[in-house]
Structure 1
Amino acid sequence: MIVTVTLNAAVDKAYVIEELKKGEVMRVIRCTNTPGGKGLNVARVIKSCGEEVLATGFLGGHTGAYVKDMLDEQQVPNDFFYTSGETRACINILESDGTSTELLEPGEPVSQEAVDGFIRKYEQIIASSNVVTMSGSVSAGVDTDIYARLIEMAKAKGKKVIMDTSGVLLKNGVQAGPTMIKPNRDEIEALLGIKVQNRLEVIEGAKKLQSMGIDFVVVSLGAEGALVVTKDAVYHGQPPKIKTVNTVGSGDSMVAAFAVGLERGYEVEEMLRYAVAVSAANTLTMATGSFRTEDMERIYKDVVVTRL
């Protein structure tokens, strides 16, 4: 089983409009609500991949109840710690030319009592899992070493851990040696205190991070796929050219697919091919963290994996 951790869940609202104009009343053509927060996107995609998953983290208030209702309707198993604060909402405004504008609420503060309660729940939940993912931001009131603590707890039980976050959460979490991280160029620069100018320097930065005790460092390249740096090699997975509809959630879809690959014991090249295909397939749907199996299977055949 794969456990996904979301410590700042949300209701994700996708608003489709013709054109965003500042200071004007805008008519929304279509609105789609989904259970949000990066970890819930990951959970939804893992389920679509056909693997057993359990979503956990914090939920609260009426919005939190709505998130749980949507997850239950989607048949995504979940076991959250409930707080007194209201779960946030996040809005993605999608224009007809493909422009995406995101408005992300910060989330209400969480008490130390709630954090302690979640950690006790987490320790019980991961006992029956093989892979744990932890994604995104955390609510106010949660210490910035939380992911490091959760990683250490999972590793002590022999679990594989994927961490996908940024800023001080990423910096602290890396020290605990997760199995996999997925930094972008800016995050590599921040972690190492360097400037990254080109693909070669991205790879060199990822190698430095890998040498810190991380088995796999994944760097997403957008439409050009992704890199995976291991102790012994560097791989590039390149998807075929496709016409994207909505790129939001494609990074979370990649994390989900890597988690599935770890769960299934895939070799690194097969894991990368699968992750690139799932991520690319996600861009062909309006829903965040969603893909059609037929899209993924078609793309999978045309993904090119090269050892650099």
Structure 2
Amino acid sequence: MILTVTPNPSLDRTYEVRSLDRGEVLRATGDRVDPGGKGVNVSRAVAAAGFRTTAVLPLGGATGALIAELLGARGVDVTAVAIAGQTRSNIALAEPDGTLTKINAAGPELTSEESALLLETVRTGSGGAAWIACCGSLPRGLRPDWYADLVTRAHEAGARTALDTSGPALLAALVARPDVIKPNVPELAAAVGRPLATLGDVVKAAEELRSLGAGAVLASLGADGQLLVSEEGTFYGTASVSSVRSDVGAGDASLAGFLIAGGKGAPALASALAHGAAAVQLPGSEMPSPSDLRPDAVRITQDPPLDLPLSDTGAGPRAS
């Protein structure tokens, strides 16, 4: 069973538009509403793959109630922590060429009592969990070291931890030694304080974060594939994609694939790549089912091309 924790969940509304014309009235060619947030998406992908998952979420208001209802319909067990604030709603505009424009709301501010209750709920609900995935940005009211507390409690309960966050929350959590972290290139660059122009630069940055406490680093390289740096070795992989429809939640589907395949070595990386590639070819933040996967499209090597220039070297992290 994989338990996910999303401190700042959302209701995601995705509209497909022919083009994004500023100041114009746009008519959607398609739309969908999904429960969102990185950990929520991981749980949705785990459930779509046929595995057990529980999503621990702070939920408030009508939006929070709808998220719980939608997740239940998708086979995800929900453990809700009631909060006074209203759970946020996000909007994404998807163009035919795969360009995505997102508007993410800040979300409610959690009180110290709500923060403590969320940690305690994870502790009491973690029995039997093989992995606890801690995902997404921290809402207002939670300290940057909140994830460090969560990772420590998860380890005390005997569960392995996967962390997908950025900025101060990522750096603060390394002291608690998460089993795997999943940054993208901009987030990894921000963590080490320098731009990453090549695959070799990413390998060095991942090794630095491992020296600071990360057990393994699963780095998302966008169109350039994924890199896994761990005690088992360094693995680089790519997956061919016929077309990109939406990349919302693709990284989360990738993390789910990694975890359900055991979270170690080339087999887990191959599963991560297959799930991520399948997700970008689906509408909105729809999660792939086993029939969507194409394992034959995945290529993995332990001899990565270190001089490969990266297409995504931006300096700013992307949070959700």
For this structure pair, what is the TM-score category when the shorter chain's length is used for normalisation? over 0.9
Q: Is the 8 A contact 2:49 2:289 kept in 1?
A: no
**Shift of residue 287, structure 1, vs aligned partner:** 3.6
In 2, distance between residues paired with 1:98 and 1:221?
A: 16
Q: What is aligned with 1:257?
A: 257
Q: Is the 8 A contact 1:210 1:231 kept in 2?
A: no
Residue identity matched to 1:215: G
Match for 1:280 among 271, 274, 277?
A: 277
| 1:305 matches 2:300 | yes
Q: List alignment gaps of at least 5 residues for structure 2.
A: 304-320
Q: Is the 8 A contact 2:241 2:277 kept in 1?
A: no
In 1, distance between residues paired with 2:215 and 2:75?
A: 32
Q: Deviations over 1:122-157 (max 9, x none)?
A: 110112212100111122111111110000011122
SS of equivalent to 1:23: coil
**Shift of residue 248, structure 1, vs aligned partner:** 1.3
Match for 1:290 among 264, 267, 287?
A: 287
Q: What is aligned with 2:67?
A: 67
**Shift of residue 185, structure 1, vs aligned partner:** 2.3
| 1:268 matches 2:239 | no
Q: Is the 8 A contact 2:96 2:245 kept in 1?
A: no
In 2, distance between residues paired with 1:207 and 1:231?
A: 10
| 1:54 matches 2:54 | yes
**Shift of residue 267, structure 1, vs aligned partner:** 4.7
**Shift of residue 207, structure 1, vs aligned partner:** 1.3
Q: What is aligned with 2:318?
A: none
| 1:199 matches 2:192 | no
**Shift of residue 289, structure 1, vs aligned partner:** 4.4
**Counterparts of residues 137-286 of structure 1 (less than 5 Å):** 137-262=137-262, 267-286=264-283
Q: Is the 8 A contact 1:42 1:289 kept in 2?
A: no
Residue identity matched to 2:10: A
In 1, distance between residues paired with 2:241 and 2:32?
A: 27
Shift in alpha-carbon separation, 1:267–1:111, aligned structure 2, 3 A: closer
**Shift of residue 189, structure 1, vs aligned partner:** 2.5
Larger mean CA deviation between 277-286 and 187-196 belongs to 187-196
In 2, distance between residues paired with 1:277 and 1:201?
A: 24
**Shift of residue 280, structure 1, vs aligned partner:** 0.5
**Shift of residue 93, structure 1, vs aligned partner:** 0.3
In 2, distance between residues paired with 1:192 and 1:222?
A: 19
SS of equivalent to 1:245: coil
Q: List alignment gaps of at least 5 residues for structure 1.
A: none
In 2, distance between residues paired with 1:186 and 1:285?
A: 24
In 1, distance between residues paired with 2:220 and 2:260?
A: 17
Shift in alpha-carbon separation, 1:267–1:128, aligned structure 2, 3 A: closer
In 2, distance between residues paired with 1:45 and 1:6?
A: 14
**Shift of residue 208, structure 1, vs aligned partner:** 1.6
SS of equivalent to 1:79: strand
Q: Deviations over 1:148-180 (max 9, x none)?
A: 000001112221100001111111112211000
In 2, distance between residues paired with 1:153 and 1:272?
A: 27
Larger mean CA deviation between 63-72 and 229-238 belongs to 229-238
TM-score, normalization: structure 2? Answer: 0.91
**Shift of residue 228, structure 1, vs aligned partner:** 0.3
Identity %: 31
**Counterparts of residues 86-125 of structure 1 (less than 5 Å):** 86-125=86-125
**Shift of residue 11, structure 1, vs aligned partner:** 0.5
Q: What is aligned with 1:18?
A: 18
In 2, distance between residues paired with 1:10 and 1:300?
A: 31
RMSD: 1.5
**Shift of residue 197, structure 1, vs aligned partner:** 2.5
Q: Deviations over 1:248-283 (max 9, x none)?
A: 111001111112123xxx651111111100110111
Give structure 1 regions of 4+ aligned residues with deviation exceeding 6 angstroms.
none
In 1, distance between residues paired with 2:193 and 2:270?
A: 31
